[in-house]
């Protein structure tokens, strides 16, 4: 059972033993692991621990080069874009690092009405977004419970602005029972996302002091309950900075292998947020295990080698320079133009920080991020076709592992970019984007190029939402 059992699949003793065994590892053994990673079959705990021990510039360079090769081999140059939509900052938990914590008296509390949610969505649609991540603190307006979230998802899907529509809603909300996860699945969400924050039980207990989130096992088993309820795609993550990042990466790998053994497929995505300053949180301002920029890039690269077919998400917590560094090392999804307070898109103003969950590092607009990615040679993608054609969970992996997914992802990414350029982009971004599309067409094999040109012709003929 995954409902009440202790999460024995997180074995702290085994993690610490692996880290001790691989400390100061022989460079020859490290290079053997890097060579194995190029077989695209993932790595075990000892191999990941070995990579975490790398401390020379030469080996770091080889690690990053391997991650870059794997990213290009599986994902090509695509970067999927989305925006978080915070609908509420009410919370019943006491989490020492979060501005939403129950006892933070400096925070203005707010839960958006359905009309306000629709207003936020219309602003995002005018920017060109097609994919949203609904986020809420872990309590909802009195008397509404989960129904508040379910109505919010319905509102998002029903909202239109000109030709714009949200084509996929992913969700980051409190853990649910299997029965409630089934209700969530019925709304046709994409990915259910939940972060364990830290897999280190003593640290978890220190930073979660009140509310249902105190229960480590209830939270760590949430992805399993979601999968039991039929949600194919789940997303997990760690809040780096609470405990030793090497321990966290190995523990997260144990969690991933547990899901693979239990359900035949692991998480669809992994998020890698670092602690950032948050209103009313001394801990967030001074992380007990701060992660340097170099180690942060190392984390991204190691995860790309360890779980090559799992998407890696980079949020706007990080500044533009750090985000750019991680693109080549394995990141496949990024947020853009984000706000982390309810009403933040429609009501921009000096008071926003008083309702935000944490401090942002990248304040650029979606248009600026799209242009920057295109100038770097990456395809900014708004594609949602996999969710809508059933290419999720095991079905996605069955296409991804032999490399067949590229015949869908490449054409669809370029088509979604072209739709953005036609309907939303500034003139400068349109110019950069069109140049990138021609470059990518020239690099494609004949089959992909013909498929892509067919989609582009449909878009230029005034059709929208085209994909294969």
Query: What's the mean pLDDT in 81-95?
Result: 97
Binning pLDDT at 50, 70 and 90, where does residue 2 land?
very low
Q: What is the pLDDT of residue 301?
A: 98
With beta carbons less than 8 A apart as the criterion, state whether 279 and 42 touch: no
Question: Crossing angle for the helix pair 245-263 and 45-52, nearest 10 degrees?
Answer: 160
Query: For residue range 201-245, what is the model confidence (pLDDT) as tens digits?
Result: 999 999 999 999 999 999 999 999 999 999 999 999 999 999 999
Of 205, 235, 45, 38, residue with least CA distance to 133: 235
The mean-pLDDT minimum among 149-158, 168-177, 277-286, 362-371 falls in: 277-286
pLDDT higher than threshold 90 for residue 141: no
Please give the torsion angle defined by the CA atoms of residues 3, 183, 101 and 121, in that order, rounded to the nearest 10 degrees.
Answer: 150
pLDDT higher than threshold 80 for residue 347: yes
With beta carbons less than 8 A apart as the criterion, state whether 382 and 129 touch: yes
Return d(Cα 360, Cα 353) in angstroms, integer: 10
pLDDT higher than threshold 50 for residue 355: yes
297-326: buried (b, 16+ CB within 10 Å) or exposed (e) per residue? bbbbbbbbbbbbbbbbbbbbbbeeebbbbb
Give DSSP secondary structure letters for 26-78.
Answer: -HHHHHHHHHHHTTSS---HHHHHHHHT--SHHHHHHHHHHHHHHHHHHHTTE
With beta carbons less than 8 A apart as the criterion, state whether 189 and 227 touch: no
Query: What's the mean pLDDT in 266-283?
Result: 95
Query: For residue range 277-310, what is the model confidence (pLDDT) as tens digits?
Result: 999 999 999 999 999 999 999 999 999 999 999 9
Q: What is the pLDDT of residue 400?
A: 67
Per-residue tokens: 375? 């100038």
In Å, what is the CA distance from 2 to each residue of 64, 132, 134, 234, 447? 37, 29, 25, 15, 45
Q: What is the pLDDT of residue 390?
A: 75
Q: If DSSP codes are grouped into helix, strand and coil, which group holds residue 107?
A: coil
With beta carbons less than 8 A apart as the criterion, state whether 240 and 196 touch: no
Give DSSP secondary structure letters for 285-335.
Answer: HS-TT---HHHHHHHHHHHHHHSTTSEEEE-TTS-HHHHHHHHTTT--EEE
pLDDT higher than threshold 90 for residue 386: no
Q: What is the pLDDT of residue 351?
A: 44
Per-residue tokens: 388? 């809508």
With beta carbons less than 8 A apart as the criterion, state whether 239 and 183 touch: no
Q: What is the pLDDT of residue 350?
A: 42
Of 193, 173, 171, 185, residue with least CA distance to 228: 185
Q: How many residues does the chain have?
A: 468
Query: What's the mean pLDDT in 298-323?
Result: 97
Tell me which of 341 and 387 has the higher pLDDT: 341
Query: For residue range 108-129, what is the model confidence (pLDDT) as tens digits?
Result: 999 999 999 999 999 999 999 9
pLDDT averaged over every residue in the chain: 93
Strand ranges (DSSP E) for 162-292? 164-165, 168-172, 191-193, 208-210, 233-237, 269-271
Binning pLDDT at 50, 70 and 90, where does residue 3 land?
very low
Q: What is the pLDDT of residue 399?
A: 64
Structure letter (DSSP) for residue 355: G
Neighbouring-strand partners of residue 136: 88
């Amino acid at each position: 059972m995954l409902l009440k059992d202790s999460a024995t699949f997180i074995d702290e003793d085994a993690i610490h033993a692996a880290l001790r065994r691989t400390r100061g590892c022989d460079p020859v053994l490290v290079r053997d692991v890097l060579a194995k990673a190029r077989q695209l079959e993932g790595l075990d705990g000892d191999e990941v621990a070995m990579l975490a021990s790398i401390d020379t510039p030469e080996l770091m360079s080889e690690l990053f080069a391997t991650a870059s090769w794997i990213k290009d081999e599986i994902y090509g140059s695509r970067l999927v874009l989305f925006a978080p939509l915070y609908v509420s900052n009410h919370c019943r938990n006491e989490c020492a690092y979060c501005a939403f914590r129950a006892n933070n008296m400096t925070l203005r509390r707010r839960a958006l009405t359905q009309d306000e949610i629709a207003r936020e969505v219309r602003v995002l649609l005018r920017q060109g977004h097609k994919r949203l991540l609904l986020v809420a603190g872990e309590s909802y307006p009195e008397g509404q419970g989960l129904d508040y979230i379910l109505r919010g998802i319905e509102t998002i899907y029903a909202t239109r602005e000109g030709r714009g529509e949200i084509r996929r809603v992913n969700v980051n909300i409190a853990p649910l029972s299997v029965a409630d996860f089934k209700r969530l699945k019925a709304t046709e969400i994409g990915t259910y996302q939940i972060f364990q924050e830290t897999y280190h039980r003593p640290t978890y207990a220190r930073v979660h002091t009140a509310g249902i989130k105190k229960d480590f096992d209830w939270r760590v088993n949430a992805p399993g309950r979601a999968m039991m309820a039929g949600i194919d795609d789940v997303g997990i993550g760690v809040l780096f900075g609470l405990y030793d990042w090497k321990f966290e990466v190995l523990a997260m790998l144990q969690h991933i292998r547990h899901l693979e053994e239990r359900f035949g497929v692991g998480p669809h995505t992994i998020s890698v947020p670092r602690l950032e300053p948050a209103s009313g949180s001394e801990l967030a301002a001074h992380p007990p295990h701060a992660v340097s920029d170099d180690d942060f890039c190392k984390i991204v690269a190691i995860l790309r080698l360890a779980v090559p077919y799992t998407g890696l998400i980079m949020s706007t917590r990080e500044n533009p320079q750090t985000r750019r560094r991680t693109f080549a090392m394995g990141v496949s999804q990024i947020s853009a133009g984000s706000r982390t307070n309810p009403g933040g898109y429609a009501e921009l103003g000096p008071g926003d920080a008083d309702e935000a969950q944490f401090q942002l590092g990248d304040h650029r607009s979606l248009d600026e991020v799209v242009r920057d990615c295109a100038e770097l040679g990456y395809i900014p993608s708004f594609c949602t076709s996999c969710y809508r054609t059933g290419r999720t969970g095991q079905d996605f992996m069955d296409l991804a592992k032999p490399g067949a997914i590229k015949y869908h992802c490449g054409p669809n990414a370029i088509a979604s970019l072209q739709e953005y350029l036609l309907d939303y982009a500034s003139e400068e971004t349109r110019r950069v984007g069109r140049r990138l599309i021609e470059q990518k067409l020239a690099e494609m094999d004949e089959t992909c190029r013909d498929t892509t040109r067919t989609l582009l012709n449909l878009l230029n003929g005034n059709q929208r939402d085209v994909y294969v």
